[in-house]
Structure 1
Amino acid sequence: MSSLPPTEFSLTVRCEATTLTVLIGGELDHETSDELLSEVSEQLSAGHPPFRDVHLDFGKMTFIDSSGLTALLMIHRRTSAIGAGLHLDNRPPTLERMLQLTNVLDHLTTPPTRTGDQRAEEDDGAGVT
């Protein structure tokens, strides 16, 4: 039996106005989770205008272990401390399953923001049975 070599870990950071986006690639595990936590912490304290939203994009992540989950919980603690919403975007099935099994998805993430059009549509249907 052969196994695939690990995918190299990578982080790509984008700061746009009040939104921080971090694209995560490769394996988020005991060897790499500190790098993610350090990068996000550094960005949050770098003196930019305060971030209102932090998006972690997992579209290129290939693996996550309990150390990776711990890093996500620590990032949530830091975003909550500054009043920023945490969004876990493009979650692969392995991350989705881990979040469901540990029952932390609702704790970690900010509900999607409704637009004015969505609020108007919901208000139009209010009271109708």
Structure 2
Amino acid sequence: MSRTVLIIEDSATQARIIARMFAQQGCEVVTASSLTEARAQLDVARFYLILADIFLGEDNVLDHMAELRERAPGTPIGIMSAGQRNDPVMIRTMLNKARREQADYLLPKPFSYVDVKQICTSIDSRDQTDLSQQLAALRA
């Protein structure tokens, strides 16, 4: 599978910053600035990772996790936290909701290249484990 990341982020600046970090990890990046654009991308391509900002305008991506999983079965989903630094209760509430919705990865802002690298390493390791299990099943 190609290492194409779908970044769902309504801030063009934030999307460029995180896209650059994933590109440094050898990933191709497709961006969507809304859930509507993301749906269109998910209808035509498979992705290595879906990475979405929690808040897209008036939408809360966490309310759409089931739909994202249905449209991209088996694709890991990462959530970027905007981090209302002046509202720790809001941050805690959103991160807890991300855990309940079983987000595979949490990526806090400001972004860190180390975190991006760790996410890619984790996905690659998981893909290798899946491949090993498939080969073992074929041999059995």
Normalised to the residue count of structure 2, the TM-score between the two structures is: 0.36
Normalised to the residue count of structure 1, the TM-score between the two structures is: 0.38
Looking at secondary structure, tell me which structure has more helix per residue: 2
Looking at secondary structure, tell me which structure has more strand per residue: 1
Which protein shows a greater Rg? 1
